[in-house]
Amino acid sequence: MTIAFYTLAAFILALGVLVVSTKNTVHAVLFLVANFLCVAMLYVLLQAEFLAVIQVLVYAGGIVVLYLFVVMLVNLKRGPETHVDPRRRDRMGLLIGGAVLAEFVAILLYGFAPRATGAAPAAAAPGVGNVEQVGWSLYVDYLVPFEVASILLLVAMIGAIVLAKKEP
């Protein structure tokens, strides 16, 4: 559990860094997809299956397609090529190899270490599914903020139209 969490967290962080540091925009978006998928796995780990599915559908699906459209429409010019270190690949390989090795050692150490039987996160109330629970808290407990959020989306929509429409 803990190992999985830290591994995923490391991947999410690394992919996040890659998203902002990559020069090629399309590559950045693809790293973002990988990042979103890792976050989805994190949700599965936390037993929030519903959130995980939504994450994949909305973020890795919809939002990323939107990003790709923007990248296509804006047609970003590639920045001037910076000086490329000829030994860059070697160093990258060394780094990744080292990380995998460290992970391997960590897994071994953890595997043989006497484990404290930490309680797993409290599962959802028996008999009530994950999705159903989300529904309850969204439409019953947090009904009022949910309604206000609908006004918020209306404002965003009308604001976009106001700012983007052509003058008559």
Partner 1 sequence: MPTGYSANDLVLLLPEIVLTTGLLVVLVADLFTGRSRQHWLGWLTIGVLVATAVPIVALSGHATTAARGLLAVDGFGAFFKLLFVLAAAITVLISRQYLEVEQARPGEYYFLVLCATLGMMVMAAGIDLITLFIGLETMAVSFYVLTGFLRPNRRSNEAAIKYFVLGAFSLGILLYGMSLVYGLSGTTRLREVAVALATQSDSLALKLAVVLVAAGMAFKIAAVPFHMWAPDVYEGAPTPITAFLSVGSKAASFAMLLRLLLEGLPAMAPEWRGLFYVLAVLSMTVGNIAAITQGNVKRMLAYSSIAHAGYILIGIVTATPRGVTAMLVYLMIYAFMQMGAFGVLALLRRRDVVGDELKDLSGLFFRRPLAAFAMLVFMLSLGGIPPTAGFMGKFWLFSAAIEAGYVWLAVIGVLNSAISLYYYVRVVVFMWMREELESASVHPSPGVAVALTVAVAATIIIGVYPAPLFELAEASAKTLGMAPRVLSLR
8 A C-beta contact, residue 76 and residue 95: no
Residues 6+ apart with CB under 8 A from 16: 35
Q: How many Cβ atoms from other residues are within 10 Å of residue 126's Cβ?
A: 5
Q: How far is the CB of 80 from partner 1 (least distance, A)?
A: 26
The candidate with the shortest Cα–Cα distance to 38, out of 5, 10, 1, 12, is 12
8 A C-beta contact, residue 35 and residue 19: yes
d(CA 91, CA 94): 5
Q: Which amino acid type is present at position 85?
A: D
Instruction: Return the residue of 13, 92, 109, 154 that touches partner 1, per CB under 8 A.
Output: 154
Residue 163 contacts partner 1 per CB under 8 A = yes
Stretch near partner 1 under the rule CB under 8 A, chosen from 60-68, 93-101, 104-112, 141-149: 141-149
Stretch near partner 1 under the rule CB under 8 A, chosen from 61-69, 74-82, 86-94, 149-157: 149-157
Stretch near partner 1 under the rule CB under 8 A, chosen from 56-64, 76-84, 95-103, 144-152: 144-152
Count residues binding partner 1 (CB under 8 A). Answer: 19
List contacts with partner 1 (CB under 8 A).
140-145, 148-149, 151-152, 154-156, 158-159, 161-163, 167
